[in-house]
Amino acid sequence: MRLRGQLVISHLGSILAAAAIIGAVNLMLMLSGTRNLEHDTLNASLGAAEHLLAQRLTELKQGRDELAIFAANSGPLGRDVDTLARLHELLQVHQLVRVAVFSGLQKEVDAYRWERGAAPGLATTWLPTNPRIAAQVADGRSAIWIQSGPGRSPSLQLCAAVPGSGEKERRWVVVTEPLDGALMEDILPSRVVGALENEGRLLAGWPESPTGPDANLSALTAYLPRGPFSSMFKPLVARRDVIQLDDGSGLALALMASPTPSGRSLLVGLRAWFLVLAAGTLAALGLGSGLASRLLLPLRALLEGTSAMARGHLMVRLPTTRNDELGALMREFNRMADEIRSTYLGVISTLAEVVEAKSHYTRAHIERVERLTLATVEVLERRGWVRFSSHQRFVLSVAAILHDIGKIAISNEILNKSGPLEMDEREQILAHPEVGALIVERIGKLERAAEIIRCAHEHFDGSGYPRGLRGEEIPLESRVILAVDALDAMIMDRPYSTGRPLENAIRELRSEAGKQFDPVVVEALIEVVASVGVDAQEGSSGVYRVLAGESEVLSAVTPIPQAHQG
C-alpha cells in the first residue's frame, strides 16, 4: 500500500476510534438521562394517580357519610321507588357505584349504578372477614377494607355506623367501590398500564385484569405502546401504597410505562452517532490527505532528488527549510550530494590539470572557455534558442573544461610540431575528440559531456572532425565550445607570440560564421564579448572556479526542469 494510503487510513482509524468512543459515551449519557426522565415522569404519573385516587376516596367517604345521615333521618328504609330514587340521586351526585344500608345482619336497601357494570359478583357487606375490622365496625366505628374472595370481584368497602343507632339495633351504611379497570381508567394517564395490588396480590388491572394465581403486572406488558428498540429495555415500573386500610395493609397502585422514550432516544443517539462517524470520516479523509501531502511533499522531493542524482544530475540540491526530521534528512541528502559532486569535481579537476600540463593552455584559458561558453548559452537562452537546466549547465561546464582532454593521447612532438603533419600524425590529431570522449565516459554519468567533447571539433558546414557532422547534427554545446575555444585561441597570448586583437578575432569569427561556426552561436558570443568582455568575471559561476575554490554556490534544483533545445 502506498505511504499516502497508509497515512490516510491511520488518520481515519484514529478519528473514527475517537468518534466511536465519544459517540458511545454520549449515547450512554443520553440513555441514562432519558431513563431517569422516564422514571421521573412515571413517578409523577403515579403521584397524579395517587392524588386522583385520594380524591376518589374522599368522594366515597362523603357519599358514605351523607348516606348515613340520610339513613339516620329516614329511619328504617324500604325498597320503595322514592327511596331508591333518593339513593340513586346520591349515587349520581357522588358518582358511587353501589350503596347499601344494613340493619343488623339484614339489608334494608341497596342501590347500584349500571354504568360501571355493578356485576352480581360484587359483594356488599358490613361484616368484614378480618376479625379486627369486624370488631371495629361492630363497635360503631367506620372502617375501610378490601372485600374479595372466590367468584367475587374485589372491591373497596367503606362502612360506617348510622348515627344514632344504638348498640342493640346497630345500623350500618356501606359504600362499595369496585376495584376494576374502570376505576383505573379514571385515574391513569394515557400510555400507561396499571394495577391495584393488596399485599402483593393483584386485584385489578388496566386495560385488562390478568386472571389466575400468577397474575401480575407484567402480564400487561402487551398493552404498552411499542416503539423503536423498545424490546431492548425493560418496562418501567413504579409502585406505591396509596390507601391505608384498616387491616394494616395498603392498597398499592403499580404503574408500568413503555420504555419507548429510551428506544427513541437510542434511535436518535444512533443516528447522531452515525452522523458523527460520517462527518468524522470525511474530516479524517480531508485532514489525513492534507497531512499526507504535507509529509509526502519533501519525501517526494527527496525521492526525485535521489533519482536525479542516480541519473547523474550532480547539481541537485534540496530545500532545507523544515526543522523536523524530514528537514534533517534533506540536509543529509544535500551533504551526501555535495560529497558525490566533490568526488566528481575532483576527478574533473585532475583531468583539467592534465590538460593544462599537456597543452599550452593555461588555467585562464580553460576558465575563459568555460565562462564564455556558459555566458553564450545564457544569451541563447535569453533569445529563446535554448533552455538549460542546472544539470545541463554542469555538463556543459565539464565539457568546456575537458573539451581538449583527448590531447593527452597525442604526443608532445605532434602537438608542438610546426610543420605539416604526416598522415598518422594527422590521424592522431583527428582522433583526439573521440579519445577525450572515451576518457570522460569512463568517469561515469557524464555521457552527455562525452558526446559534447566528441563533437567539439565538428564544423557547422561539415568540414570538421572526427565524423564530419554538420549544422543541427552537431550538439549546440559543441558548437558553442568550438566558437569560444577558437576566439580565445585567437586572442590568447602564447609564449612565443602575442594574441590577435579582439576586433580581428571577432571579424574572423564572423567571416567563418556559417562555415566553421554556427552563425547564431557566433552572434551570441559576440554579444557576450561586447557586453562583458573576455576577462569579465562578475556573476560567473563556472565549475572551474568552484574547483579553484572561488565559489561554493550551486543552484538548488527541485524539481529538475527538463531542458529543451530550440
Partner 1 sequence: MVGTTWIGHSAETLNQELIRVAQELGPVTMELRPFSPAGLADYLMRSQPARGESLLDLVVVPNDWLGQLFERDLICELPVSRVDALEQHLVRQALLAVSDHDKVLAYPVSAEVLALVYDPDRFPSPPRTMDELLAAPLPAGVLPFAFNVLNPSHLTPLVSSFQGSLLDRDGNFVWRDDALLTVLGHLDGLWRLPGAWNACRGDDNESLQLQLFSEGKLASFVAGPWLLEALEATGRPFAVMPIPPFADSTHPARALVGYECVAALRESRWTDLALEAGASLLEEQANERLNRSTRRLPVLLSSYQTKRAMTAAGTVGFLRALEGGQAFPPSANWSEGFQRVGDRLQRLRAQARPPSRADLERRLLGGRS
Collapsing DSSP states into helix, strand and coil, what is residue 174?
strand
- Sign of the alpha-carbon torsion through 388, 390, 392, 397: positive
**CB distance 316 to 302 below 8 Å:** no
Instruction: Give the torsion through C-alpha atoms of 396, 398, 403, 407, to 10 deg.
Output: -170
Q: How far is the CB of 119 from partner 1 (least distance, A)?
A: 7
- For partner 1, which residue of 3, 17, 80, 362 counts as binding (CB under 8 A)? 80
- For partner 1, which residue of 89, 332, 427, 473 counts as binding (CB under 8 A)? 89
Residue 119 found at the interface with partner 1 (CB under 8 A): yes
Rg (CA), the chain: 58
Residue 267 found at the interface with partner 1 (CB under 8 A): no
- For partner 1, which residue of 17, 22, 85, 297 counts as binding (CB under 8 A)? 85
Residues 474-513 contacting partner 1, CB under 8 A: none
Q: Which of 344, 382, 328 is nearest to 554 (CA)?
A: 344
Based on CB atoms, which residue is closest to partner 1, 186 or 550?
186
Residue 548 found at the interface with partner 1 (CB under 8 A): no
Instruction: Give the torsion through C-alpha atoms of 9, 12, 18, 24, to 10 deg.
Output: -100
Based on CB atoms, which residue is closest to partner 1, 78 or 471?
78
Residue 152 found at the interface with partner 1 (CB under 8 A): no
- Sign of the alpha-carbon torsion through 355, 359, 363, 364: negative
Based on CB atoms, which residue is closest to partner 1, 207 or 471?
207
Of the candidate spans 79-87, 127-135, 245-253, 526-534, the one that interacts with partner 1 by CB under 8 A turns out to be: 79-87
Collapsing DSSP states into helix, strand and coil, what is residue 517?
strand
Residue 115 found at the interface with partner 1 (CB under 8 A): yes
Burial class (CB in 10 A: 0-12, 13-18, 19+), 200: exposed
Burial class (CB in 10 A: 0-12, 13-18, 19+), 57: middle
Q: Which residues contact 412 (CB under 8 A, 6 or more apart)?
A: 358
Q: How far is the CB of 97 from partner 1 (least distance, A)?
A: 10
- For partner 1, which residue of 51, 79, 141, 360 counts as binding (CB under 8 A)? 79
- For partner 1, which residue of 27, 59, 117, 467 counts as binding (CB under 8 A)? 117
**Does 466 sit behind a cis peptide bond, omega within 30 degrees of 0 on the bond before it?**
yes
Separation of alpha carbons 184 and 204, rounded Å: 8
Q: Which of 257, 272, 275, 273 is nearest to 35 (CA)?
A: 257
Place of cell 344494613: 102
Based on CB atoms, which residue is closest to partner 1, 86 or 300?
86
Residue 207 found at the interface with partner 1 (CB under 8 A): yes
Of the candidate spans 77-85, 124-132, 232-240, 399-407, the one that interacts with partner 1 by CB under 8 A turns out to be: 77-85
Residue 358 found at the interface with partner 1 (CB under 8 A): no
- For partner 1, which residue of 114, 200, 321, 497 counts as binding (CB under 8 A)? 114
Residues 441-460 contacting partner 1, CB under 8 A: none
Q: How far is the CB of 182 from partner 1 (least distance, A)?
A: 7
Residue 121 found at the interface with partner 1 (CB under 8 A): no
Residue 467 found at the interface with partner 1 (CB under 8 A): no
Collapsing DSSP states into helix, strand and coil, what is residue 204?
strand
Residue 302 found at the interface with partner 1 (CB under 8 A): no
Of the candidate spans 85-93, 274-282, 316-324, 344-352, the one that interacts with partner 1 by CB under 8 A turns out to be: 85-93
- For partner 1, which residue of 86, 201, 387, 510 counts as binding (CB under 8 A)? 86
Q: Which residues contact 266 (CB under 8 A, 6 or more apart)?
A: 27, 31, 228, 229, 232
Q: Answer left, alpha or beta for residue 140, where phi above 0 means left and psi between -120 and 50 means alpha.
A: left
Separation of alpha carbons 122 and 116, rounded Å: 11
- For partner 1, which residue of 40, 139, 185, 427 counts as binding (CB under 8 A)? 185
Of the candidate spans 41-49, 107-115, 194-202, 441-449, the one that interacts with partner 1 by CB under 8 A turns out to be: 107-115
Q: Which residues contact 65 (CB under 8 A, 6 or more apart)?
A: 160
Residue 106 found at the interface with partner 1 (CB under 8 A): no
Based on CB atoms, which residue is closest to partner 1, 230 or 392?
230
Residue 82 found at the interface with partner 1 (CB under 8 A): yes
Based on CB atoms, which residue is closest to partner 1, 120 or 200?
120
Residue 189 found at the interface with partner 1 (CB under 8 A): no
Residue 111 found at the interface with partner 1 (CB under 8 A): yes
Q: How far is the CB of 89 from partner 1 (least distance, A)?
A: 6
Q: Which of 135, 68, 73 is nearest to 100 (CA)?
A: 68
Separation of alpha carbons 302 and 271, rounded Å: 46
Collapsing DSSP states into helix, strand and coil, what is residue 323?
coil
Q: How far is the CB of 83 from partner 1 (least distance, A)?
A: 8
Q: Which of 521, 523, 487, 520 is nearest to 503 (CA)?
A: 487
Of the candidate spans 40-48, 87-95, 283-291, 422-430, the one that interacts with partner 1 by CB under 8 A turns out to be: 87-95
> What character string, x for contact with partner 1 (CB under 8 A) and - otherwise, covers 521-540?
--------------------
Which triple of cell numbers denotes residue 553?
Answer: 554556490
- For partner 1, which residue of 1, 81, 357, 553 counts as binding (CB under 8 A)? 81
- Give the binding-site size for partner 1 (rule: CB under 8 A): 22
Q: Which residue ranges make up the site for partner 1 (CB under 8 A)?
A: 79-82, 84-86, 88-89, 91-92, 111-115, 117, 119-120, 182, 185, 207
